[in-house]
């Protein structure tokens, strides 16, 4: 008996429900229309806002150089022009993947020919502080507005303690320093960003805090946060018993995929929703964005990866829509060149590719030891180029993109910049 063929293409006049109204969900909806889908298109989002951009929250919006409305990606007019029935301010509570039924928090049941799951992720909280609103995170517009109000309310010299020296924590620290705050950054690892970028580059980026009068403490354990009856409003309690005074406490220790609503859906969940190479989690159900863990063939290895980057989320939303239209039997694999950037202390840190902590690293331009840390570093794995990282060197960085696409060797990448010096 021959194997059953995977379901065919989505009817162009059919129906689709997009669950998630942030970047990945919006890109999926836009791609459906741009690719000729004329049917019913419903987009559900638990926030009451129109889709907006999150990267500026920890930088321009927190700094006050952008008004919140500048982050909007698509307003009512744009969504209506695309023929998107937007159900904002409603949370999806359940999915039946087999019947493609989505149940909302008001009891509404949406049925469709195809479903895009793009409910993203939420910030991880410090143990014991889940109910403390005073301990800030930065994920939503409301988060950012509350944090900015707290900083301004504390006045000049506001003492900020940031827990986590990853990209979000570092961006918040840099922005707060620019606002005149006294900033301390606490990091559990000996070297910031080492799991993502390795010890060498992670150390250089961590040193940026020190060069800009931000105290960085590494290898420290945070036991919790407590309020005080007098003096400083809060204390951050460390593992050795030391208590650091703070006007404001910000936590940036990673995110948790929003998958709880998918319990019993028929989808496989393990630190995200497990998907195949074409982003299908089930027949006629695709995923995109921060909660998607897909099968990616990278550097000759099949990997199950979940990448929390803006550019990947944008590309993935579009790719998921194309896969849904093509059908599971004919859809191609999602094979991006990941790209990520972070703005800190007037510098732009850019990452192209998918570096690993154990990759070989060569600095091919600039110096890791300079106070402004302007450099380009390339990463190699098993003799192949895996990534490139640059600080305020955009032109040099992008020259590595075709090499990553073509599968160039590590030596070829090193020679590229050496020849251009």
CATH code (residue 276): 3.50.50.60
Pair (229, 312) in one structural domain: no
Domain that holds residue 416: 346-420
Q: Give the pLDDT score at 5.
A: 45
Domain boundary among 238, 253, 268: 253
In this structure, is residue 108 part of a structural domain? yes
Pair (245, 314) in one structural domain: no
Q: How far is CA 25 from CA 16, 94, 95, 119, 174, in A?
A: 12, 17, 16, 8, 30
User: Strand 234-238 relative to strand 222-227: parallel, antiparallel, unpaired?
Assistant: antiparallel
Pair (136, 220) in one structural domain: yes
> Shortest CA distance to 122 belongs to which of 295, 301, 251?
251
Pair (384, 315) in one structural domain: no
In this structure, is residue 4 part of a structural domain? no
Q: Give the pLDDT score at 133.
A: 67
Distance (Å, whole) CA 202 – CA 357? 10
Pair (249, 260) in one structural domain: no
Angle at 372 between CA 371 and CA 376, to 5 degrees: 115
Q: State the total domains in the chain.
A: 3
Chain length of the chain: 421
Q: Give the pLDDT score at 231.
A: 67
Distance (Å, whole) CA 215 – CA 150? 21
Q: Give the pLDDT score at 301.
A: 80
In this structure, is residue 199 part of a structural domain? yes
In this structure, is residue 336 part of a structural domain? no
Pair (163, 236) in one structural domain: yes
Pair (68, 166) in one structural domain: no
Q: Read off the tokens for 310.
A: 């803006």
Low-confidence stretches of the chain (pLDDT < 50) are 1-5
Q: Give the pLDDT score at 369.
A: 82
Q: Give the pLDDT score at 302.
A: 84
Distance of CA 8 to the CA centre of its chain: 32
Domain boundary among 270, 296, 326: 326
Pair (166, 225) in one structural domain: yes
Q: What is the pTM of this model?
A: 0.94
Q: Give the pLDDT score at 6.
A: 60
Pair (246, 260) in one structural domain: no
Domain boundary among 224, 253, 282: 253
Element (H, E) at 395: helix 394-398
Neighbours of 95 (CB within 10 A): 27
Distance of CA 80 to the CA centre of its chain: 27
Distance (Å, whole) CA 188 – CA 388? 26
Pair (137, 243) in one structural domain: yes
């Amino acid at each position: 008996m021959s194997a059953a063929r995977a379901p065919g293409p989505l009817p162009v006049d059919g129906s689709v429900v997009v669950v998630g109204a942030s970047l990945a969900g919006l890109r999926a909806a836009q791609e459906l229309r741009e690719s000729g889908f004329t049917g019913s298109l419903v987009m559900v989002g638990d926030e009451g806002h129109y889709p907006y951009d999150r990267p500026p929250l920890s930088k321009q919006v927190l700094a006050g150089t952008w008004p919140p409305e500048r982050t909007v990606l698509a307003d009512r007019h744009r969504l209506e022009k695309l023929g998107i029935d937007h159900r904002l301010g409603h949370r999806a509570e359940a999915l039946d993947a087999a019947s493609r039924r989505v149940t909302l928090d008001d009891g509404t049941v949406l049925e469709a020919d195809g479903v895009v799951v793009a409910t993203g992720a939420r910030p991880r909280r410090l143990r014991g502080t889940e109910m403390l609103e005073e301990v800030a995170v930065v994920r939503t517009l409301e988060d950012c507005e509350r944090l900015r109000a707290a900083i301004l309310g504390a006045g000049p010299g506001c003492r900020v303690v940031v827990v986590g020296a990853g990209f979000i924590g570092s961006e918040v620290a840099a922005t707060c320093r620019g606002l005149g705050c006294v900033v301390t950054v606490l990091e559990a690892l000996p070297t910031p960003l080492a799991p993502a970028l390795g010890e060498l580059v992670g150390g250089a980026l961590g040193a940026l805090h020190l060069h800009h009068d931000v105290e960085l403490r590494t290898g420290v354990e945070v036991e919790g946060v407590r309020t005080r009856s007098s003096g400083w409003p809060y204390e951050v309690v460390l593992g050795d018993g030391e208590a650091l005074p703070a006007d404001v406490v910000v936590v940036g220790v990673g995110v948790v995929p929003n998958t709880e609503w998918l319990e019993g859906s028929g989808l496989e969940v393990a630190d995200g929703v497990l998907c195949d190479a074409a982003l299908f989690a089930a027949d006629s159900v695709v995923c995109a964005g921060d909660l998607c863990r897909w099968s990616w063939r990278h550097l000759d290895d099949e990997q199950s990866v979940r990448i929390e980057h803006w550019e990947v989320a944008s590309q993935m939303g579009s790719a998921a829509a194309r896969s849904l239209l093509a059908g599971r039997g004919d859809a191609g694999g999602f094979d991006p060149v990941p790209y990520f950037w972070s703005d800190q202390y007037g510098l732009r840190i850019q990452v192209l590719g998918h570096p690993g902590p154990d990759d070989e690293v060569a600095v091919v331009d600039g110096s890791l030891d300079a106070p402004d840390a302007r450099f380009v570093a390339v990463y190699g794995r098993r003799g192949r180029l895996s990534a490139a990282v640059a600080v305020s060197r955009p032109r040099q960085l992008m020259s590595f993109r075709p090499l990553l696409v073509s599968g160039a060797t590590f030596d070829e990448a090193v020679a590229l910049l050496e020849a251009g010096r």
